[in-house]
């Protein structure tokens, strides 16, 4: 496996009203993580974490300086979680070397992990992240988070 694993770990939606979205996804009966709250919520769906994060907070990380009206960011991020804190930096460097645009350099996050953001050639945002609570099976599918 190369420095950036072929792995989709998390899809995050930027929530304009997280309480409304939480109510909707809870009503579907999806398995919500116990660590969810009104500031961040997630559902483990078949090996991928589906997360909701307030729009201003996600925009600050994934699209700094881009306004909603600019059309430069969809409000959706994809994430590839790696197995260690140090792997964030190596995977980030590999993605940039492959032609990704730097959005946010690797940094330690307030939630205890480390992550960086890149954009692919069409501007789609990817977070390269390490979270100490993420667990994967032998195929790289996310089996638990938190």
103-129 pLDDT, tens digit per residue, is: 999 999 999 999 999 988 767 789 999
CATH of the domain at 23: 3.10.180.10
Is residue 33 situated within a structural domain?
A: yes
15-35 pLDDT, tens digit per residue, is: 888 888 888 888 878 889 999
Residue 102 pLDDT > 90: yes
Residue 78 pLDDT > 60: yes
Which structure tokens are listed for 36? 């969810």
Q: How many domains does the chain have?
A: 1
Is residue 28 situated within a structural domain?
A: yes
Backbone angles phi and psi of 131, in degrees to 5? -130, 125
Q: What percent of the chain has pLDDT over 90?
A: 43
Domain of residue 64, residue span: 10-138
Is residue 143 situated within a structural domain?
A: no
pLDDT band at 4 (very low <50, low <70, confident <90, very high): confident
CA gyration radius for the chain? 15
* Cα distances (angstroms) measured from residue 54 to each of 18, 45, 50, 113: 6, 20, 14, 18
């Amino acid at each position: 496996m190369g420095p950036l694993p072929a792995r989709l770990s998390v899809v995050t939606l930027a929530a304009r009203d997280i309480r409304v979205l939480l109510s909707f996804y809870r009503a579907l009966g999806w398995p919500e993580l116990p660590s969810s709250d009104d500031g961040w919520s997630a559902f483990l769906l078949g090996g991928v974490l589906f997360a909701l994060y307030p729009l201003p907070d996600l925009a600050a990380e994934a699209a700094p300086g881009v306004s909603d009206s600019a059309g430069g960011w969809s409000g959706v991020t994809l994430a590839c979680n790696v197995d260690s804190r140090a792997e964030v930096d190596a995977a980030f460097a590999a993605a940039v070397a492959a032609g990704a645009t730097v959005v946010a350099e690797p940094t330690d996050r307030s939630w205890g992990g480390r992550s960086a953001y890149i954009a692919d050639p069409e501007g789609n945002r990817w977070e390269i992240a390490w979270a100490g609570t993420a667990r994967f099976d032998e195929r790289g599918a996310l089996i638990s988070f938190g």
